[in-house]
Amino acid sequence: MTHRETIVKEYKEVIHYVAILTMGVGFIELLPLLVLFFQGWTSRDFWAFAFPASLGIVLGFIFFKLTYRSEHSLSIRSGAVVVAVAWVAAVAIGALPFIIGGQLSPLDAVFESMSGWTTTGLTMLDLRGARAIYLFWRSFMQFAGGAGIAVLMLSAVIGPKASRLYEAEARNDRFLPSVIDTSRILLRLYLTYLLIGVLLYVTMGMSWFDAINHSMAALSTGGFSTFSESIGHWNSLPIEIVTIVLMILGATNFATHHALLQRKRLKVLLDNEFILFFFLISLSVPLIVYALISTFNLELAHTIRISLFQAVSALTTTGFQTISFPNWNESTIFLIVLLMIIGGGTGSTAGGIKLYRVSIVLKSIYWSVVYHLFPKSAVLRRSINKQGEIVLVNNEHLVEVLTYTFLYLLTYLTGVIIFMLCGFGLQESMFEFASALGTVGLSTGATGPGMPALAKIVQILGMWLGRLEFMAIILAITKLIKDLHFVNPGVKSTSFRQSGKS
């Protein structure tokens, strides 16, 4: 078999998996139709979901039948292409209901869909006039996106040979050797927490519809709300406490959840991510309290309540709000930006750089100092605590973490500069793009239908990059370019090879 034939065979397999994922998204999009039975029926709303769902199922089925799946596992590069393309397909299909239903323009619909699937929570939708089915679809996209398209499909139909999809979707921690068993346990935990969240919200005074939406949004660390005031609409301490618990559950590595339930030992909570999370909350809340009291002269108890909720919302990258940000002082805004950039745990529904990587970066500074204090002959152990177990950190992994952190910060800087070129101030630019890249959803009010198209596109790309953590997209693009170049070599490269032979 020639290399060209190998490439063709490989892409038939890629299309096969994308077709399965597209069918899955189509079936997912049928679920919001159930809302019509409870919240009122209109023909336009029905077709707004029935048509794109049918389109996804039919097109997926056709390509599924025209292609095949090999007996071998996907390579990491092929898995990256599948995940990157599948997410684009999911966003396109997810945007169609907003367009067909007359809710949003095409660009704003794509923005809303990307914000939903990536669990960001930035919105272009006017919630005051939005019908229930569209509100539910936004929340459900976040819930499905939080679990991960590949994880959902792995658990349902794909099978163990597609384990590279799990890794390509920025999920490296496995509870069990089998990816399928890991995915099913993750979904079981996810659905259990959802049910508990819904029941707690209803008990605390929410309607069933609002409880389902907010439980999905909180657990997926998405942040879409059914009200423009977000969680602040209820002004209820019990509801805020339930939300904080759900946000923390969603932003904690699900491997930690599983380890805690299996071992039933508090030693699991010595995990570096878990400790760093509560250290950052303990450090940031007093600073936010001080800044708010000095700016607004609020009561201490009320200020602590606001500060704790917003700090957790930012660090878990959820994006729920109990207070608006436009009048906050610069130091507090900067602190919230830092929390959004850091983000939640690996293997969770949260975004950002991730607590694990930040822990490695901080420890690498310590290791560097210690290395220079000891004799060169000394052997120093570099390790980190994961779920209560000591894990060694080798050079390769350290370079990988530092590279990702650099890529993230470079992308963030680029996005901020583009925002400023669109006419936004430095503070607004830093806040809004940190929110998009970290898949957070908090906003100072700058993000909305009236913002420049370029800024919307940059945020869409930022959300996509932030959710798939760069590497899947980089691998996918490099593979596509390399394979395209091989199949259709350019004149220059051909001439170069010929001259080399002579």
Please give the single-letter amino acid code of residue 191: L
Return d(Cα 405, Cα 437) in angstroms, integer: 13
Exposed / middle / buried, residue 75 (Cβ in 10 Å: 0-12, 13-18, 19+): middle
When comparing pLDDT for 222 and 150, which is higher?
222
Residue 390 has pLDDT above 50, yes or no: yes
DSSP string, 288-327: HHHHHHHHH---HHHHHHHHHHHHHHHHTT----SS-STT
When comparing pLDDT for 215 and 270, which is higher?
215
Residue 154 has pLDDT above 80, yes or no: no
* For the chain, percent of residues with pLDDT exceeding 70: 88
Parse the chain into domains and list their residue ranges.
Answer: 1-172+453-502, 174-442
Residue 177 has pLDDT above 60, yes or no: no
Question: What value does the mean pLDDT take over residues 480-501?
Answer: 55
- pLDDT category at 175 given cuts 50, 70, 90 is low
Question: What value does the mean pLDDT take over residues 272-298?
Answer: 91
- pLDDT category at 493 given cuts 50, 70, 90 is very low
Residue 38 has pLDDT above 80, yes or no: yes
- pLDDT category at 174 given cuts 50, 70, 90 is low
Q: What's the token pair of residue 352?
A: 């950002």
Exposed / middle / buried, residue 73 (Cβ in 10 Å: 0-12, 13-18, 19+): middle
Residue 214 has pLDDT above 50, yes or no: yes
Q: How many other CB atoms are found less than 10 A from the CB of residue 370?
A: 12
- 317 Cβ partners below 8 Å, 6+ apart? 119, 221, 251, 340, 343, 344, 350, 351, 352, 438, 439, 440, 441
Please give the single-letter amino acid code of residue 424: F
Residue 445 has pLDDT above 80, yes or no: yes
- 55 Cβ partners below 8 Å, 6+ apart? 26, 93, 96
Mean pLDDT of the chain: 86
Give the model's pLDDT for residue 500.
Answer: 38
> What residue has token string 């030992």?
265
Residue 497 has pLDDT above 50, yes or no: no
Report which secondary-structure segment, H or E, holds 392. Answer: strand 389-392
Q: Rounded to 5 degrees, what are φ and ψ at 20?
A: -65, -45
Question: What value does the mean pLDDT take over residues 356-361?
Answer: 94
Return d(Cα 453, Cα 475) in angstroms, integer: 28
* C-alpha dist (Å) from residue 481 to 80, 477, 485, 496: 14, 6, 6, 19
- pLDDT category at 491 given cuts 50, 70, 90 is very low
* C-alpha dist (Å) from residue 444 to 222, 431, 465: 17, 7, 22
Residue 156 has pLDDT above 70, yes or no: no
Question: What value does the mean pLDDT take over residues 353-376?
Answer: 88
Per residue in 395-435, pLDDT (tens digit) is: 888 998 999 999 999 999 999 999 999 999 999 999 999 99
Residue 301 has pLDDT above 50, yes or no: yes
Question: What value does the mean pLDDT take over residues 166-180?
Answer: 59
Give the model's pLDDT for residue 492.
Answer: 47
Beta-bridged to residue 391, according to DSSP, are 384
> Which of helix, strand or coil describes residue 384?
strand
Give the model's pLDDT for residue 268.
Answer: 82
Range among 77-81, 326-330, 399-403, 491-495 rated most confident: 399-403
Residue 166 has pLDDT above 80, yes or no: no
Question: What value does the mean pLDDT take over residues 255-283?
Answer: 87
Give the model's pLDDT for residue 9.
Answer: 79
Give the model's pLDDT for residue 50.
Answer: 96
CB-based contact 22:86 (threshold 8 Å)? yes
Residue 310 has pLDDT above 80, yes or no: yes
Residue 494 has pLDDT above 50, yes or no: no
- pLDDT category at 231 given cuts 50, 70, 90 is very high
Residue 180 has pLDDT above 80, yes or no: no
Beta-bridged to residue 390, according to DSSP, are 385
Residue 326 has pLDDT above 80, yes or no: no
Give the model's pLDDT for residue 165.
Answer: 61
> Which of helix, strand or coil describes residue 386?
strand
Please give the single-letter amino acid code of residue 120: T
When comparing pLDDT for 2 and 115, which is higher?
115
